[in-house]
Amino acid sequence: MRIIEGVALALGMIRAQKLKSFFGVLGVIIGVMFLITVVSVVEGLNKYMEEDFAKAVFGLNTLTVQRQPSVSFESDPEYWRAMWRRPRLTLQDADAIEAGLSVPAIVGVASDGNGTIISEQGIEVSNVWLTAASAEFFTIRDYEIERGRLFTAPEDRMGVPVVVLGWDAANKAFGALDPLGRTVRINGAQFRVIGVLKKQGTLFGMSLDNQAIAPSRSVMSRSVNPRGYVDNILVRPNVDTDLEQARMDIEAVMRIRHQLRPGEDNDFAIDTAEDSLSFWQTIKRILLIAFPGLVSIALVVGGIVIMNIMLVSVTERTREIGLRKALGARRADIMWQMLVESATLSGLGAAIGIGIGLALAKLVEAVSPLPAAISPFWMAVATIMGVTVGVVAGFYPASRASRLDPVVALRQE
């Protein structure tokens, strides 16, 4: 008997016993549902981390020199004390790196902080992400201007108190007024607004547009760091393939400046967006390996329930099986029919689970900052898992059905 007929027969059976079938596949539905929900969110996060997060926070093809690595899972307090004993980076370090590079590259500095800006009208905008940066910072980060202009390298060198606002910060501080040429007070110091950045959106629900960027030598530096110190030195080679060479040049320059002996560890970190993502790759791998494992426990339970349903079904249909045998069904035909029925049942459960799982993932996306991505690969995996559960669970009942003696089966009432 061909598979389509078997499936049609099974669907007829399921339609006739909707409630029983539903409870029978509940385990499979729940297992698949969770698998799809979690995988959709993990895949969504992954896309997000690789495409948006990395670019927004670290910049593409950019080396970031820092006192400490940007991501660390170390919990040993001794490790952290060592980290905090490391020397801070300075503007002179940045100049030395620029001079020491053997490949063409843009070098900039940026230090971050947090503060409140107050407009001329007295409107306060709190929790603004403050950056004291060199003029190259905009090029390195691919920041684009919406209105006005960016500050220039000479303005940075002289520490002119000008500021470029993010779209949200400008909007909140000035509303309908044109912010260009107006002044804002940032942690007490006055700045003239010269530009507004293009809208960039959010990251994990956090606005990327609630920011203010001023020259690194301006009074802004006091809001973020003690005088002369910087948080990050950014190096973006003009040619992407020069990244490794640039990394080696930076390491050499910094080791000399920090007077490290051969064999001594670096007391600074050089990160790329890819390095920072490696921690995420680890988490993702663990999630994608561990979760299907957990789901398979639910599927085993689901399979046991299906096996019971099928055993009951075989008992109820003893007479039908006897009849089919009398009409010429071989053992293999009966076996096949029952297996297809069991697989159809659990396959249907998997399909329902996928549907609910996708809906849940969309719901998670709607009510939380976590994104969701639909993955055809995992939908296929879930379907195969579901059908496999049906086949495995149906095997024993099917073999029992196929071994029924037609004489005895036909006599059954």
Partner 1 sequence: MSAADPVIRTEGITKNYVLGAETVHALRGVDLTVERNEYVAIMGPSGSGKSTFMNVIGCLDTPTSGKYWLNSQEVSVLTDDQLARIRNKEIGFVFQTFNLLPRATALHNVELPLIYAGVSQKERRERAAAMLERVRLEERMLHRPAELSGGQRQRVAIARALINNPAILLADEPTGNLDSQTGIEIMALFEELHAAGQTIVLVTHEHDIAEHARRTITLRDGVISSDVRRIAAVI
Min dist. Cβ of residue 399 to partner 1 (A): 14
325 binds partner 1 (CB under 8 A): yes
> Minimum CB separation from partner 1 for residue 10, in Å?
12
Query: Interface with partner 1 includes 16 (CB under 8 A)?
Result: yes
Does 145 participate in binding partner 1 (rule CB under 8 A)? no
> Applying CB under 8 A, does 82 fall inside the site for partner 1?
no
Residue with tokens 């500050």: 151
Can you read off the two tokens belonging to residue 300?
């085993």
**Integer Cα distance of 28 and 346 in angstroms:** 7
Examine residue 407 and tell whether it contacts partner 1 (CB under 8 A).
yes
* Binding span for partner 1 by CB under 8 A among 27-35, 76-84, 295-303, 402-410: 402-410
Dihedral (Cα; 6, 8, 11, 16), 10-degree rounding: -110
Residue 410 engages partner 1 in binding (rule: CB under 8 A) = yes
Based on the shown chain and the rule CB under 8 A, indicate whether residue 263 belongs to the binding site for partner 1: no
- Number of residues interacting with partner 1: please give it, by CB under 8 A: 20
Token pair 């020199």 in the structure block, residue:
65
Instruction: Tell the smallest beta-carbon distance from residue 397 to partner 1 (Å).
Output: 19
Of residues 326 through 345, those in contact with partner 1 by CB under 8 A are: 326-333
Tell me: does residue 290 bind partner 1 (CB under 8 A). no
Nearest CA among 129, 201, 212, 141 for reference residue 174: 212
Kindly tell me which of 232 and 402 has the beta carbon lying closer to partner 1.
Answer: 402
87 counts as binding partner 1 under rule CB under 8 A: no
**Which residue lies nearer to partner 1 by CB, 267 or 333?**
333
161 touches partner 1 (CB under 8 A): no
User: Which residues have a Cβ under 8 Å from the Cβ of 29 and sit 6 or more positions away?
Assistant: 302, 349, 350, 352, 353, 356
**Strand ranges (E), 137-286:** 145-148, 162-165, 183-186, 189-197, 202-203, 206-207, 211-215, 229-230, 232-237, 269-271
Q: Which amino acid is at 97?
A: I
**Does residue 106 belong to the site contacting partner 1 (CB under 8 A)?**
no
Task: Verify binding: residue 11, partner 1, rule CB under 8 A.
Answer: no
Q: How far is the CB of 14 from partner 1 (least distance, A)?
A: 12
How far apart, in whole angstroms, are the C-alpha atoms of residue 146 and residue 166? 9
C-alpha angle 236/245/254, rounded to 5°?
Answer: 80
**Helix 26-48 × helix 273-316 angle, to 10°:** 170
Segment holding 363, helix H or strand E: helix 331-367
C-alpha distances in angstroms, 244 versus 94, 101, 132, 257, 333?
Answer: 18, 11, 27, 20, 65
The yes or no reply on residue 3 touching partner 1 (CB under 8 A) is no
Instruction: Find the part of the chain contacting partner 1 (CB under 8 A) among 30-38, 64-72, 106-114, 404-412.
Output: 404-412
Contact flags string 295-324 toward partner 1, x per CB under 8 A: ------------------------xx--xx
Q: Which residues bind partner 1 (CB under 8 A)?
A: 1, 5, 12, 16, 319-320, 323-333, 406-407, 410
